[in-house]
């Protein structure tokens, strides 16, 4: 592509984003959609138009796995490499595509046409194996589909002309409850929230609330917040913070001149094995957007963002259409539902392959167009969030629940589920079962019940809430889903007796190593050391010395890491060591200290250069410990 053409594209994209440097990630993403990568000339132009230093642009571009500062081909194929994709045979399919296209895994083909690599879970575990082509999701891959894709690539058919059936994504809703069954008309929840205001001075109090927040107990916003509190709603992203408290803290945070309050919907559903936010956004986006608007009403926010993970890029156009419809219906924009001063709008930012951005402060950094590094806290986002403004960040499912609470009241909601866990929870069920998909249950459902409902037999273990969650063994299947027992962000990955739980843990360790942001020493280096040790065990070269090292690293990562990623990176290892120890023991064939690397292979270059193959040109990988 000529430098002038590149500059033209950058000019178009940058002006579309109002020359706003906080939109840098969005600009990079869209320029790449047009150019296939970010050529140096594009950075030249951005530097000029945005007035930001090159170090910043390159720093941001280099952080996100889906932004390329080197050519990666016209077709960029990434196979989802979650443990479920592995179980569904993704490796064989990847080999098949590579062989068919004459391309080496991870490299670009010689003609520069295509690259084939792997990526973290693309959120299609119920219909895997999955892949992304130029960040568009394809699921349910088969050998035949791979061959068709190879042919389309070889024939250079533009992605837009590929058969639409390829890109069909199923919702697979297997059990619906109050959320997924909600017979909801856009605007209903907002009207209900408004109606809940005491009759005295509805408008005036609301105007004050939108602008500066209100003392507790007065007016519609406060009444809405009270309902959320009464509902005992807790965050659905995994941590389970009380939503009402978060909203209240944000509403009460002092507002500096020129600042506004911000509502952010965290749709960066990156935890391997979860996909319920994808289904919520595809099936009931209005409910989610309405929940955000209810939140804005309650806390007096005027600006909203959805941070949509890059893997769900395919949902963007549809979601934008829904937003336009809502603007047209006066459910977004100025004076929403005819309430003077009730101004709120939502824009969607799309991520670019960084799991860590699911952490709320990293997400905010990313929204600001920066590297997705978790912030030092305190201060917390509720007081100093997006561009230092008071901000709430909630999960997609939390907002959907909030809309229902606004509609039906807090008491109704609190009556569902258990005492400590009100409402329902969407579970993303995948792995070894007959009916993978979305199951919505009132909190308090047992693991055993879910397994029964989804047709799982011979189950050895369930990974609840993904790699950063917990691994539950068969003797714990009577435990329940709920904040009082097993909290979850939604992933429910099932492993039958034929699965090797060491390999499950190793897959997750690779995931964390790939997703570590690199900010803090323990996580940056520790996840790599952990990966190397797990790989050593995998090769059968491990010894009890390595095992002791793994346990020491686990402790260090938990105590010294900067954020949840590092703290939880060891969970899968710790859990499987505690509950499935034989899978580790069987790998520690060596009782003595073993070398860190393959000694014989370490002579390979010299053998090749000298042509020697005599006994002296080899090294036995015998143990090196004390006999």
Partner 1 sequence: MSHTFTLDGKTIPFEDGQTIIQAAIAAGVFIPHLCYHPDFKPHGSCKLCTVKVNGRHTASCTMRAMAGMVVESETAELNAERRALTQMLFVEGNHFCPSCEQSGNCQLQATAYHLGMMSPHYDHFFPNRAVDASHPDVLLDFNRCILCSLCVRASRDVDGKNVFGLSGRGIGTHLIVNAKSGQLADTDFSLSDKAAQVCPVGVILKKRRGFAVPIGERTYDKAPISETANGN
Partner 2 sequence: MKKKLKVATTSLAGCFGCHMSFLDIDERLFTLLEHIEFDRSPLTDIKTCSPDCDIGLIEGGLCNAENIHVLREFRKNCKILIAMGACAINGGLPAQRNHLPLTTILEEVYHTSPGLANGMIPNDPELPLPLNQVHPIHEVVKIDYFMPGCPPSADAIWKVLTDLLAGKEPELGHGLMHYD
63, interface contact from partner 2, partner 1, none, CB < 5-8 Å by kind: partner 1
- Quick check: 165 binds partner 2 (CB under 8 A)? no
User: Any bridge partners for residue 345, and if so which?
Assistant: 303
C-beta closer to partner 2: residue 113 or 525? 525
**301-308 and 261-267 beta bridge pairing:** parallel
Report the residue from 12, 168, 318, 552 that binds partner 1 according to the rule CB under 8 A: 552
Quick one: how far is CA 549 from the chain centroid?
A: 30
> In the structure encoding, which two tokens stand for residue 98, read together?
């590579």
Give the footprint of partner 1 on residues 560-619 (CB under 8 A): 560-562, 596-597
Is 412 one of the binding residues for partner 2 (CB under 8 A)?
A: no
Distance CA 373, CA 561 (A): 13
**Which partner, partner 2, partner 1, none, binds residue 603 by CB below 5 to 8 Å per kind?**
partner 2
Instruction: Concatenate the DSSP letters of all residues of 57-74 into one string.
Output: HHHHHHHSTT--SS---S
- The answer to whether 294 touches 225, Cβ cutoff 8 Å, is no
What is the helix (H) or strand (E) element at residue 502, kind and residue range?
Answer: helix 501-515
Task: Indicate which single residue of 155, 376, 498, 627 sits in contact with partner 1 (rule: CB under 8 A).
Answer: 376
Positive/negative CA dihedral, 74, 66, 351, 119: positive
User: Residue 185 interacts with partner 2 (CB under 8 A)?
Assistant: no
User: Which among partner 2, partner 1, none contacts residue 619 (Cβ within 5 to 8 A by kind)?
Assistant: partner 2
Point out which span in 276-284, 359-367, 448-456, 602-610 binds partner 2 (CB under 8 A): 602-610
Residue closer to partner 2 by CB (options 419, 612) is: 612
Nearer to partner 2, 498 or 627 (CB): 627
Q: Residue 613 Cβ, how far from partner 2 at the closest point, in Å?
A: 10
Contact pattern from residue 444 through residue 473 relative to partner 1, giving x for each residue in contact according to CB under 8 A and a dash for the rest: ------------------------------
Backbone angles phi, psi at 98, to 5 degrees: -60, -45
At 347 the three-state DSSP class reads: strand
Q: Which stretch binds partner 1 (CB under 8 A): 72-80, 466-474, 559-567, 612-620?
A: 559-567
Exactly one of 485, 545, 549, 560 binds partner 2 (CB under 8 A); that residue is 545
Closer Cβ to partner 2, 201 or 624, answer by number: 624
Element (H, E) at 495: strand 491-496
Question: Residue 620: what are its φ and ψ, rounded to 5°?
Answer: -75, 135
Give the one residue of 216, 324, 559, 591 binding partner 1; rule: CB under 8 A.
559
User: Least distance to partner 1 from the beta carbon of 58, Å?
Assistant: 5
The tokens describing 1, both together, are 């592509």
419 in contact with partner 1 (CB under 8 A): no
Q: How far is CA 340 from CA 56, 297, 309, 498, in A?
A: 41, 12, 34, 62
Q: Which stretch binds partner 2 (CB under 8 A): 339-347, 510-518, 521-529, 596-604?
A: 596-604
Burial of 465 per CB tally in 10 Å (0-12, 13-18, 19+): buried
Residue with tokens 């809940």: 196
Q: Does 348 bind partner 2 (CB under 8 A)?
A: no
Asked if residue 608 binds partner 2 (CB under 8 A), the reply is: yes
For residues 296 and 306, is the Cβ–Cβ distance under 8 A? no
Interaction between residue 35 and partner 1 (CB under 8 A): no
Q: Kindly state whether residue 364 participates in binding partner 1, applying the rule CB under 8 A.
A: no
We find the least distance from the C-beta atom of residue 543 to partner 2, in angstroms, to be: 10
What span, in angstroms and rounded, lies between the C-alpha atoms of 165 and 169?
9
Q: Tell which positions 524-543 bind partner 1, by CB under 8 A.
A: 524-529, 532
Only segment of 57-65, 336-344, 387-395, 503-511 that touches partner 1 (CB under 8 A): 57-65
**With binding defined as CB under 8 A, does residue 383 bind partner 1?**
no
CA–CA separation, 70 vs 37, rounded Å? 7
Pair type for strands 131-133 and 173-175: unpaired
User: Per the structure block, which two tokens stand in for 111?
Assistant: 């003609």
Residue 624 contact among partner 1, partner 2, none, beta carbon within 5 to 8 Å by kind: partner 2
Q: Which does 520 bind (CB under 5 to 8 A by kind): partner 2, partner 1, none?
A: partner 1
* Closest alpha carbon to 78 in 68, 304, 51, 463: 68
Is residue 398 a contact partner of residue 336, using CB atoms and an 8 Å limit? no
As a whole number of angstroms, the distance between CA 28 and CA 46 comes to: 9
Residues 6+ apart with CB under 8 A from 40: 69
Angle in degrees, CA 424, 140, 454, rounded to 5? 35
56 binds, among partner 1, partner 2, none (CB under 5 to 8 A by kind): partner 1
Residue 350: count of CB within 10 angstroms of its CB: 22
Q: How far is the CB of 18 from partner 1 (least distance, A)?
A: 22
Kindly state whether residue 216 participates in binding partner 2, applying the rule CB under 8 A.
no
Question: Looking at beta carbons only, is 298 or 352 nearer to partner 1?
Answer: 352
The reply on whether position 539 binds partner 2 by CB under 8 A is no
Pick the stretch among 154-162, 227-235, 304-312, 523-531 that binds partner 1 (CB under 8 A): 523-531
Residue 548 found at the interface with partner 2 (CB under 8 A): no
Binding mask 265-284 for partner 1 (x = CB under 8 A): --------------------
Whether the Cβ atoms of residue 80 and residue 121 lie closer than 8 Å to each other: yes
Q: Are strands 131-133 and 75-80 parallel, antiparallel or unpaired?
A: antiparallel
Residues near partner 2 (CB under 8 A) are 545, 592-593, 595-597, 599, 601-612, 614, 616-617, 619, 622, 624-627
Residues near partner 1 (CB under 8 A) are 40, 43-44, 53-56, 58-59, 61-65, 354, 371, 376, 378, 513-522, 524-529, 532, 552, 556, 559-562, 596-597
């Amino acid at each position: 592509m000529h430098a002038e053409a590149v500059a033209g594209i950058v000019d178009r994209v940058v002006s579309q984003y109002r020359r706003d440097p906080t939109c840098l990630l969005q600009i990079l993403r869209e320029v790449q959609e047009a150019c296939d990568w970010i050529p140096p000339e594009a950075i030249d132009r951005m530097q000029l138009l945005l007035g930001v230093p090159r170090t910043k642009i390159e720093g941001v571009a280099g952080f996100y796995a889906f932004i390329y500062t080197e050519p990666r081909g016209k077709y960029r194929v990434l196979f989802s490499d979650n443990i479920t994709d592995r179980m569904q045979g993704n490796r064989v399919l990847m080999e098949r595509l590579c062989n068919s296209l004459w391309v080496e895994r991870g490299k670009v083909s010689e003609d520069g046409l295509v690259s084939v690599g792997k990526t973290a879970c693309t959120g299609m575990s119920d219909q895997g194996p999955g892949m992304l082509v130029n960040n568009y999701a394809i699921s349910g891959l088969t050998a035949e589909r791979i061959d068709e894709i190879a042919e389309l690539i070889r024939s250079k058919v533009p992605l837009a002309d590929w058969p639409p059936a390829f890109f069909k994504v199923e919702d697979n809703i297997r059990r619906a409850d109050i959320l997924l069954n909600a017979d909801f008309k856009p605007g209903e929840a907002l009207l209900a929230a408004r109606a809940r205001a005491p009759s005295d001075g509805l408008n005036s109090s609301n105007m004050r609330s939108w602008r500066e927040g209100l003392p507790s107990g007065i007016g519609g916003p406060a009444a809405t917040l009270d309902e959320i509190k009464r509902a005992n709603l807790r965050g659905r992203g995994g941590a389970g913070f009380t939503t009402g408290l978060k909203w209240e803290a944000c509403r009460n945070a002092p507002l500096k001149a020129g600042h506004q309050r911000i509502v952010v919907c965290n749709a960066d559903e990156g935890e391997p094995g979860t996909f319920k936010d994808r289904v919520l956004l595809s099936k009931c986006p209005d409910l989610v957007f309405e929940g955000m608007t209810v939140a804005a009403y309650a806390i007096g926010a005027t600006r909203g963002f959805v941070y949509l993970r890059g893997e769900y890029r395919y949902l963007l156009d549809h979601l934008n259409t829904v937003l336009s419809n809502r603007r047209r219906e006066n459910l977004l924009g100025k004076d929403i539902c005819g309430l003077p001063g009730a101004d709120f709008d939502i824009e969607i930012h799309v991520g670019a392959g960084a799991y860590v951005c699911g952490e709320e402060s990293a997400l905010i950094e990313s929204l600001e167009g920066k590297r997705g590094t978790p912030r030092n806290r305190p201060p917390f986002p509720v007081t100093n969030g997006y561009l230092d403004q008071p901000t709430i960040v909630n999960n997609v499912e939390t907002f959907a629940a909030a809309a229902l609470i606004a509609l039906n009241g807090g008491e109704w909601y609190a009556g569902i589920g258990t005492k400590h866990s009100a409402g329902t929870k969407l579970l993303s069920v995948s792995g070894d079962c007959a009916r993978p998909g979305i199951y919505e249950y009132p909190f308090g459902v047992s693991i055993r019940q879910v397994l029964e409902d989804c047709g799982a037999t011979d189950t050895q273990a369930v990974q609840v809430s993904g790699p950063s969650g917990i691994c539950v063994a068969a003797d714990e299947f009577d435990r329940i889903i709920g904040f009082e027992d097993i909290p979850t962000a939604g992933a429910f990955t099932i492993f039958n007796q034929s699965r090797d739980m060491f390999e499950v843990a190793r897959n997750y360790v690779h995931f964390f190593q790939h997703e570590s942001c690199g900010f803090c020493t323990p996580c940056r280096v520790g996840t790599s050391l952990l990966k190397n040790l797990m790989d050593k065990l995998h090769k059968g070269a491990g010894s009890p010395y390595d095992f002791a090292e793994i346990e020491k690293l686990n402790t260090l990562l938990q105590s010294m890491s900067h954020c949840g990623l590092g703290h939880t990176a060891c969970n899968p290892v710790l859990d499987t060591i505690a509950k499935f120890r034989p899978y580790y023991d069987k790998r520690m064939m060596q009782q003595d200290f073993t070398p860190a690397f393959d000694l014989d292979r370490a002579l390979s270059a010299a053998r090749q250069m000298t042509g020697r193959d005599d006994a002296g040109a080899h090294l036995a990988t015998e143990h090196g410990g004390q006999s």
